[in-house]
Amino acid sequence: MTTTTAPTEGASSSSVTRPVVERGLLAWLHQNFFRTPFDVALTLIVLVIGGNLLVQFVEWSIAQADWTIITTNFRILMQGTYPAEQGGRLGLAVALITLIAGVSWGIWGKMFRATAFAFVGGVLIFIFVPLAAESLAEAPSGTFSAYLSGQLAPLFSLLREPVLLLVACLLIGYAVGRFAKQIDRKRAGRYTLIAWFVAIPVCFILVRGFTEPDGILPFVQTSRWGGLLLTFMLAFVAIVACFPLGILLALGRMSSGTHKLEFKAPPGWWLNPLQWLHALSIWWRNLGNYPIIKLLCIIYIEFLRGVPLVTVFFTANLIVPLALGDNSIDAVLRAMVALTLFEAAYIAEIVRGGLQALPPGQLEAAKALGLSPVQATLFITLPQALRIAIPPLVGQFITMFKDTSLVAIIGLTDLLGISRSVLAQSEFIGRHREMYVFVAIVYFVFSYGMSYAARQLERSGSGAFRKIG
């Protein structure tokens, strides 16, 4: 027995079928790679070329490459000529940064399933590869077994303890961040930002020291910094310093006003010191009304954007000591200042683009609420502009991290510079491929980490305009 329902008034007599929505991996592949015959042909060509290159690279890395250049010089590549007995200070600084990064991840990010699998898989690899190498050492000789026991296992054994310690710090920080987020997200985020600002000088003190050779933290000359340590210090200091400077430059370039001084000078005011102070206070309150601030910011930004970074490094390294008549200024400090001043010009333009992308109604609404220009900028326009500018800002930070390799031109031994010194060793002459592949992997890992953190921050909605109520 079948039952039918009469069509309602105004309804169509013909049935309308719901469109089929394809989901899953096969649907995604069809939509992105095999949608048209041209897409199919292009995908197959790329797969053939890419697969061939990948097979050749794997064969070279297993059968021909000699990775002992990395395991033998690993400490030099990581910290240069930094005293080996003081290496624990570097580990403590890295653990502190990793812990705060984990807390930040727990507050503003989320642990995705793929990320959890990556962590678990990485930990298992670092634990079981050396164990598998020991069992293969007595097995019949072969290309893969020789590669695993002779080259890969020593590297993983060297990295096992540091990697597991950093993963533990990151996960502990993530758990703390998630717990603090459940209690009070706003306060947890505020305390995390304070922790970042406190960690910067603490890490700098840990790395550099401040006491005599027999003290708790012996002083280490920056000339002994090198490798990945120097690359990190240059990038970290430059990123932290150029960001607020770039914001100030962007606000200065966008400043506008009446260009008038609202001061009615009484007769003989220049003879009265009290009138001087009154005029000075009025000038200070109306500083944004003068084109000199905007003009200076424009000159600074356009000049530094118009010269290459190498020129700025050479100027800081050679011209500045000659102009000051004092060569005692630290070379690493000069490089940090040069990189900060150069990158601040690019950050300023990125922030200015974010400010210009905001609708004018935001600022008008802030004025209608009675907010001052400073309050409207700090609480309304600037947070939204920074959120809009997150992708280009992170791109600039990644570029800055890679630009630190240019300090090798002025004699500083960063990761790229120290790798050239390692290649000069007699037993490793001609092993350029292995060294530069390792350097490329290091740069890629940290650049991708910054990009991933930016995506997490953008997904969290930090800085976005939220409705109240």
Cβ-in-10-Å burial (0-12, 13-18, 19+) of 84 comes to exposed
CA dihedral 240, 246, 252, 253 (to 10 degrees): 180
Is residue 175 included in any domain, yes or no? yes
Task: Single out the residue in 166, 194, 219 at which a domain terminates.
Answer: 219
User: What mean pLDDT is reported for the chain?
Assistant: 80
Is residue 427 included in any domain, yes or no? yes
Question: Which residue is listed with tokens 């962590």?
Answer: 119
Is residue 136 included in any domain, yes or no? yes
Task: Single out the residue in 219, 248, 276 at which a domain terminates.
Answer: 219
The length of the chain in residues reads: 469
| 367-408 pLDDT, tens digit each | 888 887 778 888 888 888 888 898 899 999 999 999 999 998
- Do 320 and 298 lie in one domain? The reply is yes
- Do 376 and 440 lie in one domain? The reply is yes
Is residue 68 included in any domain, yes or no? no
- pLDDT score, position 360: 81
- Do 240 and 165 lie in one domain? The reply is no
Is residue 64 included in any domain, yes or no? no
| 248-303 pLDDT, tens digit each | 999 888 876 555 555 566 666 666 677 667 777 766 666 555 677 888 889 999 99
- Do 255 and 368 lie in one domain? The reply is yes
Phi, psi of 211 (to 5 degrees): -110, 180
- Do 209 and 242 lie in one domain? The reply is no
- Do 107 and 229 lie in one domain? The reply is no
- Do 364 and 436 lie in one domain? The reply is yes
Q: Which residue in 428, 462, 463 sits closest to 105, CA to CA? A: 462
- pLDDT score, position 436: 92
Cβ-in-10-Å burial (0-12, 13-18, 19+) of 173 comes to buried
Judged against a pLDDT cut of 80, whether residue 2 lies above it is answered with: no
- Do 147 and 231 lie in one domain? The reply is no
Is residue 10 included in any domain, yes or no? no
| 78-112 pLDDT, tens digit each | 988 898 888 888 889 989 998 998 898 888 776 55
Strand partners, 353: none
Is residue 309 included in any domain, yes or no? yes
- Do 210 and 329 lie in one domain? The reply is no
Looking up residue 228, the CATH number of its domain turns out to be 1.10.3720.10
- Quote the CA–CA distance of 157 and 432 in Å, as a whole number: 24
Number of domains in the chain: 2
| 10-31 pLDDT, tens digit each | 455 456 666 555 667 788 888 8
- Do 210 and 231 lie in one domain? The reply is no
- Do 296 and 343 lie in one domain? The reply is yes
Task: Single out the residue in 189, 219, 249 at which a domain terminates.
Answer: 219
- Do 331 and 404 lie in one domain? The reply is yes
Is residue 341 included in any domain, yes or no? yes
Cβ-in-10-Å burial (0-12, 13-18, 19+) of 410 comes to middle
Domain with 182 in it: 83-219
| 333-362 pLDDT, tens digit each | 889 999 999 999 999 999 999 998 888 888
- Annotate 116-139 with b (16+ C-beta within 10 A) or e (fewer): eeeeeeebeebeebbebbeebeee
